[in-house]
Structure 1
Amino acid sequence: MSGEVQIIADRYELRTEINSGGMGDVWHGFDPVLNRDVAIKRIRRELTGPGPDAEEFAERFRREARVTAKFDHPGVPAIYDAVLDESADGVYMVMQLVRGTLLTNIIASRGPLPIPWAVSVVAQICSVLSHAHAVPVVHRDLKPDNIMIAADGTVKVLDFGIAAVLGTDVTKLTSTGHIIGTRRYMSPEQIQCAAVSPRSDLYSLGCILYELLAGGVRSTPSRSSP
């Protein structure tokens, strides 16, 4: 492995990859101008080029940056900088670095959480949703994978990439006939591609609360026909 540190925008250092997914990757970065650690989220370069889904992916990324920048809440990582058009360094966001654990991993490792802990987590998520819905923004993909518990116990809600800005958006940002979101946590209106509302996020939050108290989702044993 090369010892060289990759630099983007002649400023930000990419130090360690935190996560990688279908749309892009997230890095632990460093801003030498302000002398602070940051998180840098980038869209894959091939998704910004020609292709049937390229514009959709790029628009989701722009949406996430612009929607998240609307928030002024400690439960949402702050956006520091962004490049939202194609450039030599690609499309990226520079965000507050949150040190913590995804709620998915906590549920998997601990099983059912004590009721006071589960209530604390859900109450903090409710605070974020109350702020978001007043913007007004509906998250539309609330799930344990998009919730991080920081080292001090505070909750951070992540990934507003498919959020809906009420009053200005169509109900979905996707190719025709494709449902976006995670089915296990989607409200009935999302599955039916109907209009979403703040109640859609509350449905997803109810699913999360169930998993916190039950220690995840238990699969139902298959039953043979009589």
Structure 2
Amino acid sequence: MALFERRLPVTANVLAHHHAARCAACRTLLVTLAHGDALPSELAPGALAPLGGGRRCARRSSVPGATWTPPEVLDGFRLERLLGRGGMGAVYLARDASVDRRVALKVCVALQPDAGTLASFATEARAISRIQHPNVVTMYRAGEIDGRPYLVYEYVDGKSLAELRPPLPWQRVLDIAVGLAAGLRAAHQGGVLHRDLKPGNAILSPDGTVKLIDFGLATFVGGGGTAPRGVREVVGTPRYMAPEVRMGESATPRSDLHALGLLLFELCTGRLPPARRGACAALLTERLPGIDPGFAAVIACCLAEDPLERFAQADVLCAVLEHVRRLVAFQRTSSVFPTPWTGPGFRQVSSPPPLF
């Protein structure tokens, strides 16, 4: 990441580019990072092969370039059109003939699916099956055809957050924040860390409901209904990784909340925050005159470099966001200032504004 953030010395920068020109695996890794795609475990820093002299090289990926084309009718689902394609599968709009409804069908399209791809589909199915919440996409079925897994989801006729054109009005971002935080709370209470929260992995329905999607890089920790513990593995999309995860430390609920903070900051301003994030609340207020200071402080708290200075759990964040939204609505209709938030999580907020 130092290469993309222009923090490498000139000599190291030249050596990195020269090596990538000769090494197909590292070149693939750089393209993945440049496009903002998720970083699978086989390309994670822990999976890099030694080059000597303390340097490391990405192992070659086993994902083939050619893809498998599914039949027009797949296990009773008639495929209508392609909705999107990723590194491990394709998503089709399909019709479930048994109940005559439209669904989104995600299927592995690799000619020879590798173990990592199969594991990702299995992980996603297990993760989604643990979560029942309006802000998380619903899975109807998981199956397999010709050795290739597929997942059937509710079809949400909306746009991913990546398709929106930020900066958005901060009031709209506040509504999105409430929904995403609620979805993360449901996931964490089920012992699931998302680990790849980004604009492309959340979809906004026409009625304004936001839903988390793509749990292919999720992991299972803790037990249902308990706060999940950390997991030491570097996967996800680098530009939305928490700093401690990028450095190889354990992923925790706080790292998911950091990714949420990055996403919200980007929706508000049209760009990610600077590498040094000590004054994010002031930066938001400067770039967005009129933004509620409590909402700016919530985003800044999620973005704290030290995980211990972030909200401890998603349910705390949900409570604070709901209070901010009620406060904002109250201020629109009354000149009386409501009672500041002093509920659970009060002490978890770093550098709190008067609201907390």
Global fold match (TM > 0.5): yes
Which band: TM-score by shorter chain? 0.7 to 0.9
Equivalent in the alignment of 1:77: 137
Q: Find 1:59's aligned residue among 119, 133, 150.
A: 119
Partner-residue secondary structure (3-state), 2:148: coil
Between the aligned partners of 1:219 and 1:127, the Cα distance in structure 2 is: 27
Between the aligned partners of 2:173 and 2:126, the Cα distance in structure 1 is: 31
TM-score, structure 2 length as denominator?
0.53
Instruction: Kindly report which structure 2 residues correspond to 1:28-39, keeping only aligned pairs within 5 A, or say none.
Output: 28-39=93-104
Say yes or no: does 1:45 pair with 2:110: yes
Instruction: Kindly report which structure 2 residues correspond to 1:1-226, keeping only aligned pairs within 5 A, or say none.
Output: 6-9=72-75, 11-48=76-113, 54-84=114-144, 87-88=145-146, 90-106=148-164, 109=165, 111-167=166-222, 171-172=232-233, 179-217=234-272
Between the aligned partners of 2:191 and 2:274, the Cα distance in structure 1 is: 36
* Richer in strand (by share): 1
Equivalent in the alignment of 1:175: none
CA drift at 1:215: 1.7
Aligned residues of 1:23 and 1:47 also touching (Cα < 8 A): no
1:113-151 CA-to-partner distances (Å, cap 9, x unmatched) read 111101100111000111111111111000001111111
Equivalent in the alignment of 2:340: none
Between the aligned partners of 1:164 and 1:98, the Cα distance in structure 2 is: 24
> RCO greater where, 1 or 2, for CA within 8 Å and sep 6 or more?
1
1:162-202 CA-to-partner distances (Å, cap 9, x unmatched) read 11111389533xxxxxx421111101222122211110111
1:62-113 CA-to-partner distances (Å, cap 9, x unmatched) read 10011111111011111111115xx42731011110110111111xx3x311
Counterpart amino acid of 2:248? C
Between the aligned partners of 1:27 and 1:115, the Cα distance in structure 2 is: 33
Counterpart amino acid of 1:18? L
TM-score, structure 1 length as denominator?
0.82
Q: Percent identity?
A: 34
Counterpart amino acid of 1:8? L
Equivalent in the alignment of 2:25: none
CA drift at 1:22: 1.4
Counterpart amino acid of 1:171? R
* Runs of 5+ consecutive residues of structure 2 not aligned to the other structure: 1-70, 224-229, 276-356
Aligned residues of 2:139 and 2:153 also touching (Cα < 8 A): yes
Between the aligned partners of 1:136 and 1:219, the Cα distance in structure 2 is: 31
Counterpart amino acid of 2:146? A
1:36-72 CA-to-partner distances (Å, cap 9, x unmatched) read 0111000123242xxxxx1011101110011111111
Partner-residue secondary structure (3-state), 1:45: coil
Counterpart amino acid of 1:28? L
Size of the aligned set, in residue pairs, is 199
Task: Mark the structure with the bigger radius of gyration.
Answer: 2
Between the aligned partners of 2:111 and 2:146, the Cα distance in structure 1 is: 13
Between the aligned partners of 2:100 and 2:93, the Cα distance in structure 1 is: 14
Counterpart amino acid of 1:164? T
Counterpart amino acid of 1:71? I
